Structure 1
Amino acid sequence: MEAIIEVSELRKRFGASVALDGMTFTAGPGLVTAFVGPNGAGKSTTMRVILGLDRPDAGTALVGGRRYVTLDRPLTHLGALIDPGALQPGRSGRNHLLWLAHSQGLGARRVDEVLDLTGLRPVARRQANGYSLGMRQRLGIAAALLGDPPMLMLDEPFNGLDPEGFVWMRGLLRSLADEGRAVLVSSHLMSELQDIAGHVVVVGAGRVVQAARTTDLTARFGSLEAAYLELTRGLGVLS
């Protein structure tokens, strides 16, 4: 399966509210693609449509040329971090991952590998309701990596991390892209994205405002933050 996430002409309404208005972009292999925009721009809805959690009114969202809901063992194709709190709090971190692994035909060895990769081995047998936000975030990343997928989609992966965690996350995202994976990252931390993203998709009001190489945007505006502020001016909603 080719490592590519393709979103084409997605449209979605929730009642009278337009969430997606022709959202179209591609996240290709070997790159971290930054997916940025103000609150209410349609980022979360787009990610939910990609995962089949919301159904679009029109358009398509494909991972490796197929709809996510049609995939066998989907975690081996696309790993996603959408809500790090989406777990059974009475389970240990390791048992949470084991449950996911068994659903995908994966063994305990892979669980231990991602626990080591995310630094969670020392707290793996602690109940998840005792985890800090940063630890839950790392557990969500471990779950996304469980199937060793060629594509990853991460929503605000830096949330709750301490400075050491920021450094770790930067290195992880770079290494995943360097391995040829397609990595789609949504975040409001422009300074972090500027250092790791090769491509940027700026969205507002449910559509793409600008899609360009990071170096082109920084050359034009001076920084990714300046580009974001200029391109999304007037497109945000109150948080």
Structure 2
Amino acid sequence: MITVHGLRKRFRGTVALDGMTFAVRPGQVTGFVGPNGAGKSTTMRVILGLDRADAGDALIDGHPYRGLRDPLRHVGSLLDAAALQPGRTARNHLLWLAHSQGLTARRVDEVLDQAGLRAVARRRAGGFSLGMRQRLGIAAALLGDPPALLLDEPFNGMDPEGIVWMRRLLRALAAEGRAVLVSSHLMSELQETADHVVVVGRGKVIADAPVAHLLATAPGARRATLEDVYLALTRDEVEFRAVDPARAR
């Protein structure tokens, strides 16, 4: 489980996070959505210990990231598909990560298969398309078989086949009991994929509820789509009050 409570962060006087609070529960895909500058990437970086919050906590199973031993076994992440050594092959990139965590070459081959990259495992990653780099980033996130995953815009660069693959993978990971946080601007994909949505704007949570609940309580609910709800919330930036009762307790 991933818990974020009261995160506040300023960059040179600009408020990036303004009391950000939500939870990502096991067995669910949680969509993390909002316009550019809403605080999504900063929140993920704080969770992963890459940025330090001015206030608040971000915990993975009750522990800050910096306190985790063998962190890839606790949480997998994809923040930037371009963050790799382009001269390494896909397999060597994963072997390097695996070695740092005491993981085996056999596990590397397993995640290459899972990501659909076995056929290009010995190609240099620098020649990969964005979609293939996204797959390699997913493979890296899965290396430690972690119970929690954070994926920042994983649909970017995916062709239609890749989008279908990603959707199925996310659903399968949640079905295994993992807590999955996915940031995306592709609202139609989240409607097909996410169980729960956290909508953010200006560094704080606007809505935190199951997809079905958001749709059922939206104006014109019979015809409303998740895109309609998202546009209404981010346009007005009014906090959504009908939060999932189960989470309010």
TM-score w.r.t. length of structure 2: 0.92
3-state SS of paired residue (2:235): coil
| 1:106 alignment partner, SS class | coil
Q: Distance in 1 between matches of 2:35 and 2:84?
A: 27
SS of 1:232's partner is: helix
Secondary structure at the residue paired with 2:170?
helix
Structure 1's consecutive aligned runs of 4 or more residues displaced over 6 angstroms after TM superposition are none
Q: Which residue matches 1:223?
A: 225
Please give the alpha-carbon distance, in whole angstroms, between the structure 2 residues aligned to 1:198 and 1:121.
30
Q: Which has the higher contact order (CA 8 A, sep 6+)?
A: 1
Name which of 136, 139, 151 aligns with 2:136.
Answer: 139
Query: How far has the Cα of 1:142 moved from its partner?
Result: 0.2
Q: CA deviation at 1:220?
A: 2.4
Shift in CA distance, 219/234, structure 1 to aligned 2, threshold 3 Å: closer
Q: What is residue 111 of structure 2 aligned with on the other side?
A: 114
Matches within 5 A, 1:22-171: 22-171=19-168
Residue type of the alignment partner of 1:92: T
The one-letter amino acid paired with 2:225 is: S
* RMSD (CA atoms): 0.7
How high is the sequence identity, in percent, across the aligned residues? 72
SS of 2:59's equivalent? strand
Q: CA separation in 2, counterparts of 1:234 and 1:132?
A: 37
Question: CA offsets, 1:17-45, max 9 Å, x none?
Answer: 00000000000000000000000000000
- Distance in 1 separating the partners of 2:169 and 2:126: 25
Instruction: Report if aligned partners of 1:50, 1:67 keep a CA contact under 8 Å in 2.
Output: yes
Amino acid at match of 2:231: L
1:234: how far off?
5.1
Residue 69 of structure 1 and its aligned partner are, at CA, apart by 1.1
1:206 alignment partner, one of 200, 203, 206: 203
**Partner secondary structure for residue 23 of structure 2:** strand
Q: State the match for 1:176 in structure 2.
A: 173
Hey, what does 1:233 align to over in structure 2? 235
Runs of 5+ in structure 2 lacking a partner?
219-223, 238-249
Deviations along 1:158-192, one digit per CA (max 9) or x if unpaired, are 11111111111010000000010000000000000
- 1:217–1:223 CA contact under 8 A, matched in 2: no
Query: Partners in 1 of 2:232 and 2:162 — Cα distance?
Result: 30
Q: Deviations over 1:138-164 (max 9, x none)?
A: 000000001000000000111111111
Which residue of structure 1 lines up, in the alignment, with residue 244 of structure 2?
A: none
